[in-house]
Amino acid sequence: MNGNGQGNGNDGSCPVMTTADGRPIGRQQAMTAGPRGPLLMQDVELLEQMQHFNRERIPERVVHAKGSGAFGTFTVTRDISEHTKADLLGKVGKKTDIVMRFSTVAGERGAADAERDVRGFSIKFYTDEGNWDMVGNNTPVFFVRDPYKFANFIHTQKRDPKTNLRDMDMQWDFWSQSPESLHQVTILFSDRGRPVGYRHINGYGSHTYSFINDRGERVWCKFHFKTDQGIKNLMDDEGDTLIGANRESSQQDLFDAIEKGDFPSWTMKVQLMTQAQADGFEKSTGWNPFDLTKVWPHAEFPLIEVGKVELNRNPDNYHAEIEQASFSPSAFVPGIGPSPDKMLQARLMSYADAHRHRVGNNYQQLPVNKPKCPVMHYQRDGQMATADSYKAMTANYYPNTRDAMPKPAEKFHDPAWDLGSAIVDRFDSENDHDDFTQAGNLYRMFDDAERDRLATRIAGVLGQARDQVQMLQLCHFFRADEDYGKRVATKLGFDLNELMERMGAVTT
């Protein structure tokens, strides 16, 4: 019993209900003037409950709103310290706690899990040198390479402002005007566009990042997480049936597997590229190694296994630990850093900014986001700041002459970045790029049946767009692979001879 006469329930009795201020509650019935009402303003217990209820929701993520997550560990299986001084990757057998969040992208928080969509794949590593957030997708590439296009692209995936409906003409209009999207569009409409659940997807950091070793040498790297459960996808009829039966199929699958001790895992691998290789790659292929719409071919840049990610604990409270989990690509640790990838550079700002809006300026002080190592800075105050975070720090300014106050340490300074004689401009991110070879390579990997399913799905939605949009988009498919173009065109009901004549007019 505490001072208020409240039991804690440990003795089998129920604890006494209290207000949020901790005052025990006698009855939970509205206080009224007479049995029929009206209510009284002095019923502060009821007022508190109603006011809190009105504030239960935080802003939904603009993208990746519907998600699931869990806690686990990352274990190093191969020493790659010659490439990075990242403490979490330093020694075989080293374990680091993690939280992971998976999501769909376009749907709102109530959307069904089994929709055709890209899946978000994020991991927060609570390392001894700060949190490292790997904020990726289940696809190795993305739809656009210039961040100016991002908000516009997302608008096309959401609802039309007038009809409040998803709009296929809007989606394909944008994609047909953005041929760099073809690679990701091909993945989206392939079998992998509708996974059985989160346990059965690969994760990719997608962007190029940098590794820095303790000699101050930088190499470029890409992160891959291969599912140990195997890739499993839903055919369209299976997906539709599943949504009819269970809108939370991925949440259910992940939660139930962990609850019964069937812990899902992923093997982490990296691809590495030196600056000299990057220069050579661009010369020989024409592909910018920092272009988010491109992969690095495995044959030239083989995957190197580095560790294992395992999920083994469900959250106790979904809202506190998963909805408020805030992942940002800007959360780097010593030994891991950015690359010039323009999309990554934009995300370095926008994710942390979104969390400040969505969760609050001090989102990193919430238990799920809080680093497990000491946090020592001179940022102060703002909504929901906890004194716990600043503890014995007597100064809120730097430099200072006070004892035992945090100071920067030169050994954590990253080597300088030589940008040569860079010219500042708004460079063309649309023309003079080969946006078709890699999309074609992917298409040519599919067997005949998957090519056919891909073309059927695309025609089903592209057929809802205007004729002009269909023509432009068909040109992109033909450029990637003639068979790709012909299949989609046939499914759309075009006469191929007539189409060739019309396409000549579109492309000239």
- Residues in touch with ligand NDP (CB under 6 A): 140, 187, 190-192, 202, 224, 226, 295-299, 438, 441-442, 445-446
Pick between residue 104 and residue 271 the one whose CB is nearest to ligand NDP: 271
Using the minimum distance from each CB to ligand NDP, give the nearer residue, 296 or 390: 296
Q: Which is nearer to ligand NDP, 267 or 464 (CB)?
A: 267
At 215, the amino acid letter reads: R
Beta strands in 95-250 (DSSP E): 95-104, 119-127, 130-137, 203-204, 209-212, 218-227
CA distance 360 to 364: 9
For the CB of residue 117, give the shortest distance to ligand NDP in the complex, in Å. Answer: 15
Q: Tell me whether residue 64 or residue 226 sits nearer to ligand NDP (CB atom).
A: 226
Ramachandran bin of 130, using left for φ above 0, alpha for ψ from -120 to 50, beta for the remaining angles: left
- Beta-ladder partners of 218: 212
| Distance in Å, CB of 393 to ligand NDP, minimum | 45
Say whether 137 is catalytic. Answer: yes
H or E, element range at 352? helix 342-358
* Between 295 and 359, CB nearer to ligand NDP: 295
Task: Give me the least distance between CB of 109 and ligand NDP, in Å please.
Answer: 28
- H or E element, residue 307: strand 304-313
Exposure letters 159-196 (e unless 16+ CB within 10 A, then b) = eeeeeeeebbbbbbbbbbebbbbbbbbbbbbbbbbbbb
Point out the catalytic residue in the list 83, 131, 137, 288: 137
Strands 203-204 and 209-212: unpaired
Neighbours of 357 (CB within 10 A): 12
User: In the complex, what is the shortest distance from the CB of residue 403 to ligand NDP, in angstroms, rounded to a whole number?
Assistant: 51
Radius of gyration, alpha carbons of the chain: 26
Helix, strand, coil share of the chain (percent; to 5): 35, 15, 50
**Burial status of residue 446 (CB atoms within 10 A of its CB: 0-12, 13-18, 19 or more):** middle
CB of 301 to ligand NDP, least distance (A): 8
Which residue number, 141 or 472, has a Cβ lying nearer to ligand NDP? 141
Return the number of other C-beta atoms located less than 10 Å from residue 409's C-beta.
7
Tokens representing 163? Answer: 């009809």
CB of 8 to ligand NDP, least distance (A): 50
Give least dist CB 410 to ligand NDP, A: 36
Q: Where does residue 405 rank: exposed (0-12), middle (13-18), buried (19+ CB within 10 A)?
A: middle
* Residue 138 among the catalytic residues: no
Pairing of strands 67-76, 130-137: unpaired
Closest Cα to residue 189, out of 483, 450, 467, 491?
450
> How far from 76 is each of 79, 88, 133, 204, 309, CA to CA, in Å?
7, 8, 17, 18, 9
171 or 293: whose CB is closer to ligand NDP?
A: 293
In the complex, least distance from residue 332 CB atom to ligand NDP, rounded to whole angstroms: 22
Cα separations (Å) of 318 from 71, 122, 458? 12, 16, 36
At 118, is the secondary structure helix, strand, or coil?
A: coil
Partners of residue 137 on adjacent β-strands: 120, 204
Which of 321/435 has CB closer to ligand NDP? Answer: 435
Nearer to ligand NDP, 187 or 258 (CB): 187
Smallest gap, in angstroms, from Cβ of residue 462 to ligand NDP? 20
Could you say which of 64, 224, 355, 476 is catalytic? Answer: 64
Six-digit token pair at 175? 């994609």
Active site residues: 64, 137
